[in-house]
Copies of this chain bind each other. A is one copy, B any other.
Amino acid sequence: MPLSTPSQKALVPFVSVENMMRFVLHFGVETILKELTEAITADFARWQEFDKTPRIACHSRDGVIELMPVSDGRTYGFKYVNGHPKNMAEGLQTVTALGLLAEVSTGYPVLLTEMTLLTALRTAATSAMAARALAPKGARTMALIGNGAQAEFQALAMKAVLGIERVRLYDIDPQATAKVVRNLSGSGIETLACASSHAAVEGADIITTCTADKQYATILTDNMVAAGIHINAIGGDCPGKTELHRDIVARSDVFVEYAPQTRIEGEIQQMEPDFAVTELWQVLTGQTPGRTGERQITLFDSVGFAIEDFTALSYVRGKLEGSDFYQEIDLIADPDEPRDLFGMLQRAR
């Protein structure tokens, strides 16, 4: 191993929000969503290589703050992310995030980045990955219930990866729906603002729920779910926060990211602890069938897992080299003689 030069290690590439926006606009949202879908699929296919743990959540009355670490033995990553449904009323994001990658061999950070935008992108890419494996063939219409910060990214990922052409929108706040209609105009996706969630699901091949309220909500009731549909349930991602009526979960084939975490946070927190689920990586590697019949209801009980963030961080890192989409920040104390931290401080005088 070559001698590491401390001067290189002391500076950590940092991607600000502004640089992340420049990054995304430069490469294109749909290109990034497609490439991220492939990258997450590739990392899910090597599931066994990762040192996994359910995320570490700190709950309060107003929301949750989480740390999501994972390592593949060479690289370590973690995301800091919050979920505060009441933030919106104060003009703040419900979900904000930042992330870090580090070398496992030294523990030195190699990337720090905003992850609010990146989380929206990786969540949409993960939905598309799951839908590609589980949705009915030839799906062209998606119902999208909950038209907040994640909505456009979900729609565009389903278009880019699956060829979804029509999105039927519903939100309890018509202004949120109008925002999505406006933002997706010119995207090639046909949008339809619906007056109710019942109207939104009519004729849909895929139903995506991404609502923010922290409660045992029933965004979908059993009579709304037709045979053969794929449900992409994103918003039930926290203890006490679900979106689907229990009966839907009971009659669906349920696919999850990492079962030990989803049993705490997902729709299946409503079910018995031994309720049968399939981890998505098993479908992606061909170990277990995904969709097996035309009348089967498949449910991706998505809560968001650390490997998706690890992939997103690694993806960004891979594309940063030689670019100007980052700045270097002086994050790591770096004395010439590593044991002489105190001397470094004295010499700084």
Question: Assuming the A-B contacts A91-B3, A108-B92, A149-B340, are A67 and B78 also in contact, with contact meaning beta carbons closer than 8 angstroms in the complex?
Answer: yes
Contact check, A17 vs B331: say whether CB atoms are below 8 A apart. yes
Using Cβ atoms and an 8 Å threshold, which residues of chain B touch A329? 14, 16, 329
Q: What 1/0 flags go to A321-349 for Cβ under 8 Å of B? A: 00000000111111101111111111011
Say whether A63 faces chain B, with CB atoms less than 8 Å apart: yes
Contact check, A334 vs B80: say whether CB atoms are below 8 A apart. no
How far, in angstroms, from A60 to B76 measured CA to CA in the complex? 10
Minimum distance in angstroms from A82 CB to a CB of chain B: 2
Q: Determine which residue in A71, A90, A349 has the highest number of CB atoms from chain B within 10 A of its CB, and name it.
A: A90
Using Cβ atoms and an 8 Å threshold, which residues of chain B touch A83? 107
Contact check, B56 vs A152: say whether CB atoms are below 8 A apart. no
Task: Look across to chain B and name the residue whose beta carbon is closest to the beta carbon of A102.
Answer: B65
Say whether A36 faces chain B, with CB atoms less than 8 Å apart: no
Say whether A250 faces chain B, with CB atoms less than 8 Å apart: no
Minimum distance in angstroms from A174 CB to a CB of chain B: 12
Minimum distance in angstroms from A235 CB to a CB of chain B: 13
Question: Assuming the A-B contacts A107-B83, A343-B183, are A4 and B91 also in contact, with contact meaning beta carbons closer than 8 angstroms in the complex?
Answer: yes
Contacts of A4-43 to chain B: CB distance below 8 A: 4-6, 9-10, 14, 16-18, 20-22, 24-25, 29
Q: How many copies does the complex hold?
A: 2
Say whether A106 faces chain B, with CB atoms less than 8 Å apart: yes
Contacts of A108-133 to chain B: CB distance below 8 A: 108-109, 114, 116-117, 120
Q: Which of A93-101, A134-142, A196-204 contacts B (4 or more CB under 8 A)?
A: A93-101
> Interface majority SS on A: helix, strand, loop or mixed?
mixed
Contact check, B80 vs A338: say whether CB atoms are below 8 A apart. no
How far, in angstroms, from A114 to B330 measured CA to CA in the complex? 8
Question: Assuming the A-B contacts A5-B91, A58-B69, are A22 and B348 also in contact, with contact meaning beta carbons closer than 8 angstroms in the complex?
Answer: yes
Q: What 1/0 flags go to A187-206 for Cβ under 8 Å of B? A: 00000000000000000000
Using Cβ atoms and an 8 Å threshold, which residues of chain B touch A76? 58, 65
For A331, give its contact among B4, B53, B98, B102 (CB under 8 Å): B98
Task: Look across to chain B and name the residue whose beta carbon is closest to the beta carbon of A80.
Answer: B100
Contact check, A93 vs B332: say whether CB atoms are below 8 A apart. yes
Interface size class of chain A, counting residues whose CB lies under 8 Å from the partner chain:
35 or more
Minimum distance in angstroms from A250 CB to a CB of chain B: 32
How far, in angstroms, from A73 to B62 measured CA to CA in the complex? 11
Question: Assuming the A-B contacts A106-B84, A114-B331, A332-B116, are A25 and B348 also in contact, with contact meaning beta carbons closer than 8 angstroms in the complex?
Answer: yes
Minimum distance in angstroms from A22 CB to a CB of chain B: 7
How far, in angstroms, from A179 to B282 measured CA to CA in the complex? 55
How far, in angstroms, from A21 to B3 measured CA to CA in the complex? 26
Say whether A266 faces chain B, with CB atoms less than 8 Å apart: no
What are 7 sample pairs from A and B whose C-beta atoms fall under 8 A apart?
A1-B90, A56-B69, A82-B102, A82-B107, A88-B338, A98-B331, A183-B346
Q: What residues of chain A have their CB less than 8 Å away from a CB belonging to chain B?
A: 1, 3-6, 9-10, 14, 16-18, 20-22, 24-25, 29, 51, 53, 56, 58, 60, 62-65, 67, 69, 71, 73, 76, 78, 80, 82-84, 87-88, 90-94, 96, 98, 100, 102, 104-109, 114, 116-117, 120, 147-153, 176, 179, 182-183, 329-335, 337-346, 348-349
